[in-house]
Amino acid sequence: MEKLDLYKVLEVSKEASQDEIRRSYRRLARKFHPDANPGDKKAEDRFKEVQHAYEVLSKPEKRREYDEGPRTFFGSGTTGQPAGAGFGDFSDLLGGFGNLGDVFGRTGAQRTQSKGENVTVNVRLSFKDALDGVTTRVGVPVEESCGDCGGTGAAPGTVPRTCPDCGGRGVQSRDQGFFALSTPCSGCGGEGRIIEKPCKVCGGVGRVRRTRQVKVRIPAGARDKMKVRIPGRGNAGKSGGPAGDLYVKTLVEKHPVFERKGDDFVVGVPVSFVEAALGAEIGVPRPGGGTVKLRLPAGTQDGKQFKVRGAGAPRAKADGGERGDLIVRVGVVVPKKLKRREREILEALAEEREEDVREDLFKKVGT
């Protein structure tokens, strides 16, 4: 089978620059375009060859591969028998390159406009800030629309040109009897526009990576690992699509005393064995600062829990508003040392009380 020299097809030398290749391709593609040569089978075949040659030689990586071993670039006899090749073969030919996407069924009417990605950042909060709420700034690494080129990717002072080959649609389609064949435009790589001079700042991408300072309002009563959503402050959209959202995840500092349980706080409070036995009014620390009074009844047992209503974390309006509770878990403290007088009193108490505190235990064991 005769091998096709892609350089010859494009009428350029092996040393041709990418620019020369592109220029030559444009010229030949116009010359042999089926619209310009209705019914001319030879022109049609030449057009396909030109397309194919350009597809390979316009991509430096493929061009290198081709230069090193052109064999791998030849499909099943397409170039050998141009007379028999219809557009169906054209699609086979292009299909072999993998990166052309769907050969069939792409209308090209919708250009690839897409929403920017969502971005999540952590924000560390002190216990108090989380409880009271705070407005803070967070550094958000985002892809932003490039300010130098206004997101177009073209160097300042220049604008991307609408691709002349596809009229900006990004695809080339051809009616072929009962179906239309579409292929991504090789003149612009499917972008629909051509950037002659890429913006130096973003390299032609139209987006740049930077850290944006975003003001975030953390609501009072914020929990640990809560996500606050800020719409539209994520990555910039592509091709004019909407920006993604920003999620600020709270990392709340642990408090040495207060443990958060939903909207409640739990606090362990030591009480003396005398307070527990006689009952007392004690002061309990509040999560937000200050103290709250708690009435212990006589005979309070170790581990007993009391609820101080409304002394917990502020609750979101959606959850009923107001505040959670403060749960006080009593821990009875037994003195480690006794003064002589105290010991005498307790010994007198022991004589006075004839209670057997383990009676119930033994009853349960059945001894």
Please report, as ranges, the residues that interact with Zn ion according to CB under 5 A: 146, 148-149, 163, 165-166, 185, 187-188, 199, 201-202
From residue 310, how far is each of 77, 188, 303, 304 by CA, in Å? Answer: 83, 65, 21, 19
Cβ of residue 144: shortest distance to Zn ion, in angstroms? 10
CA angle 238/242/247 to nearest 5° reads 105
The residue (of 202 and 313) whose beta carbon lies closer to Zn ion is 202
Cβ of residue 44: shortest distance to Zn ion, in angstroms? 19
The residue (of 129 and 165) whose beta carbon lies closer to Zn ion is 165
The residue (of 164 and 219) whose beta carbon lies closer to Zn ion is 164
- At a CB cut-off of 8 Å and minimum separation 6, what does 156 contact? 148, 149, 199
- At a CB cut-off of 8 Å and minimum separation 6, what does 109 contact? 169
- At a CB cut-off of 8 Å and minimum separation 6, what does 21 contact? 10, 12, 54, 57, 58
Cβ of residue 228: shortest distance to Zn ion, in angstroms? 31
178 touches 122 (CB < 8 A): no
Question: Which two tokens mark 180?
Answer: 């239309």
The residue (of 203 and 270) whose beta carbon lies closer to Zn ion is 203
From residue 325, how far is each of 78, 258, 297, 333 by CA, in Å? Answer: 79, 12, 20, 25
Cβ of residue 130: shortest distance to Zn ion, in angstroms? 40
The residue (of 31 and 217) whose beta carbon lies closer to Zn ion is 31
Cβ of residue 238: shortest distance to Zn ion, in angstroms? 14
Cβ of residue 173: shortest distance to Zn ion, in angstroms? 12
Helix (H) or strand (E) holding 282: strand 280-285
Cβ of residue 233: shortest distance to Zn ion, in angstroms? 21
Q: How many Å apart are CA 280 and CA 275, to the nearest integer?
A: 5
Among candidates 106, 100, 76, 72, which has minimal Cα distance to 89?
A: 76
Tokens 């036995």 belong to: 277
Cβ of residue 85: shortest distance to Zn ion, in angstroms? 23
The residue (of 151 and 312) whose beta carbon lies closer to Zn ion is 151
From residue 317, how far is each of 125, 219, 220, 324, 340 by CA, in Å? Answer: 22, 11, 11, 12, 58
The residue (of 12 and 29) whose beta carbon lies closer to Zn ion is 29
- At a CB cut-off of 8 Å and minimum separation 6, what does 320 contact? none
Relative orientation angle of helices 41-57 and 18-32, to the nearest 10 degrees: 160
The residue (of 146 and 313) whose beta carbon lies closer to Zn ion is 146
Cβ of residue 22: shortest distance to Zn ion, in angstroms? 12
The residue (of 6 and 202) whose beta carbon lies closer to Zn ion is 202
- DSSP 8-state class, residue 144: E
